[in-house]
Amino acid sequence: MKKLLVRIVLAVIVAILLVWTWYATQLPRQRPAADIQVAMTPENIARGRYLAVNVLQCVDCHSERDWNFYGGPPMEPIGAGRACMTRETIAAGVNAGQERFPGRLCIRNITADQETGLGSWTDGEIIRAVREGVNKDGKGLFPIMPYFIYKNVADDDIQAVVAYLRSIKPVKSVRPERQIDFPMNMLVQLWPEPFDSPAHTPDRSDPVAYGKYLATVARCEFCHTPKGPRSMQGFEGREFSGGMPFFLNGRTMYTMNLTPHESGLGSWTREQFIQLFKSRVARVETEPTANTLMNWNAFGQMSDADLGALYDFFMSLPPVPYQQEAI
């Protein structure tokens, strides 16, 4: 009996060592960063700025936001990172059921600074981080960085974004290293997946298809599809139907229904939808407690054609009634 117990203990120890070796040497799953150099043309930089500022919201997440103005527009210096979120911090923009972070997470500097930003990264390493969730050192990124969505960004668009990031004025802005609690620190290494399939921009002559592309990479569904507490997965059949709770400055707000249901966009015209965004571009001072997470200033500067394509896509969805999720 004693020999059997010894064998079982040894087998368990060997199994643990094998699993740990696999975890330490094989995760996160990754491929070498592509050997690529993006074209630093004025057209590429302009397209990249449009995407990073107005669609993908890279600048929105990687800059401090000024909540004295409606929509909390990004503050200078652009792209220099944000204050860390900790277990004690309830950060703006986080689902009200997920407000406590598992440790300390700091949103990094994405300017071209050599020491504290992306200046020492290759173009391929930046693209791999954005699409596959693996940083320059081969570590998995916490999924507050939505690489699982950005894998859908078209090849030419992702290269344009990199060109724009290279053009941002370098700012020295040190952010502390992250400290993620167990077991989340292990899960972060499990989630990244290699991405090696070319992604293409849909034909703009098909506004529904192009609108779907914009809605995907702009993460509309992430905010406008209700989810369960501490879940990244939206409820099936309720895509884009709103009612998702978010927390900001001491109050809870709920996202709008974007489906063509009467409780959503059912009675809206294309022109009304576009005008709503255009009417909120101006920097308007507001009380922080009366503010919104939706960065209207950025989204409102999208082109009329792109906003119209978003509307066409939303109107193609099945109508779903609005329902606020319990906190």
Question: Does residue 37 fall inside a structural domain?
Answer: no
Same-domain check for residues 226 and 293: yes
Question: Does residue 24 fall inside a structural domain?
Answer: no
Average confidence score pLDDT of the chain = 84
Taking the C-alpha atoms of residue 180 and residue 98, their distance in angstroms, rounded to an integer, is: 15
Same-domain check for residues 186 and 212: no
Q: Number of folded domains in the chain?
A: 2
Question: Does residue 266 fall inside a structural domain?
Answer: yes
Give, to the nearest 10 degrees, the angle between helix 304-315 and helix 207-217.
Answer: 100
Same-domain check for residues 234 and 284: yes
Pairing of strands 103-104, 179-180: antiparallel
Domain stops at, among 146, 162, 190: 190
Same-domain check for residues 137 and 236: no
pTM given for the model: 0.86
The phi, psi pair for 250, rounded to 5°, reads: 85, 5
Same-domain check for residues 162 and 239: no
Q: What is the pLDDT of residues 231-269, one digit of tens each?
A: 666 677 899 999 888 877 777 888 999 999 999 999 999
Question: Does residue 261 fall inside a structural domain?
Answer: yes
Domain stops at, among 142, 160, 190: 190
Residue type at 33 in one-letter notation: A
Domain stops at, among 136, 157, 190: 190
Taking the C-alpha atoms of residue 105 and residue 151, their distance in angstroms, rounded to an integer, is: 22
Same-domain check for residues 183 and 275: no
Nearest to 288 by CA among 21, 5, 37, 67: 67
Nearest to 295 by CA among 65, 87, 8, 16: 65
Same-domain check for residues 273 and 211: yes
Q: What is the pLDDT of residues 146-188, one digit of tens each?
A: 998 999 999 999 999 999 999 999 999 988 888 888 887 788 7
Residue 13 CB-half CA count within 13 A: 6
Structural domain boundaries enclosing 135: 42-190
Residue type at 273 in one-letter notation: F
DSSP 235: P
